[in-house]
Amino acid sequence: MYWTVVITVISLIIALIIGLVLGICSITRNKLLRAIATIYVDIIRGTPILVQILFIYFGLPSVTGITMSALTAGIIAISINAGAYLVEIFRAGINSIDKGQMEAGRTLGFSYAETMRIIILPQAVRRMIPAFVNQFIVSIKDTSLLSVIGIAELTFAGQSIYAMNFRAFQILFAVGVLYFIIIYILTMFSRWLERRLDVS
């Protein structure tokens, strides 16, 4: 469970950076930047995460000759996958802010970047927090797929145990309970945030 949480947290931090940068790119007037963001989102969201994990761990090294640990490959895969969904969350969050606020910021003499950083993003992020928590939950579930490349996260640990004692029902039930506990706590946290922030 420790590695499940660690991988998810590290991946989500990286994914937030990807989501923010490409989310802003997706709403700019620059066609090239918009195209890059769109292609990235379409490719990642249009392919199964299991294929992405296997491609990063087995596929890329076979072409580039650069090998990486299973942990590194797993973090990259979860980050890239979550990042694609966070791009859309950032895009929707930013677009939910009245366009007049951007115009007002520019009128006050702020640059586009300053207006985005000082005025738009603080309001947008407040609305996006429940969606961030939801993506965190999804990514925790996705880490279970990392067992295919040998990462000792929760699912892999469960498989290793019942392979030795043949108590598959009990072990997998326990694994399911542990996932449920983590996800239930995050779900309750998300609902509390929605009420606290009065997100509409």
pLDDT digits (tens, 9 = 90+) for 63-74: 988 888 999 999
Residue for token digits 């761990």?
57
Q: How long a stretch of residues is the chain?
A: 200
Q: What is the DSSP string of 21-64?
A: HHHHHTTSS-HHHHHHHHHHHHHHHTS-HHHHHHIIIIIHHHHH
- So what's the pLDDT on residue 133? 87
What span, in angstroms and rounded, lies between the C-alpha atoms of 24 and 85? 14
Helical spans, DSSP H, in the chain: 2-25, 31-45, 49-54, 60-64, 70-95, 99-107, 112-115, 121-142, 154-165, 168-197
Q: What is the pLDDT of residue 25?
A: 93
pLDDT score for 199: 52
- CA-CA distance, 70 to 63, in Å (whole number)? 17
pLDDT under 70: residue ranges of the chain:
198-200
pLDDT for res 55? 95
- Residue 105's pLDDT is 86
Query: Who's near 110: CB < 8 A, 6+ residues apart?
Result: 118, 119
- Residue 85 has a pLDDT of 95
Q: Tell me, what's the pLDDT at 198?
A: 66
CA-based R_g, the chain, Å: 20
pLDDT at position 87 is 95
Q: Identify the pLDDT of residue 76.
A: 96
Q: What structural domains and CATH numbers belong to the chain?
A: 2-197 (1.10.3720.10)
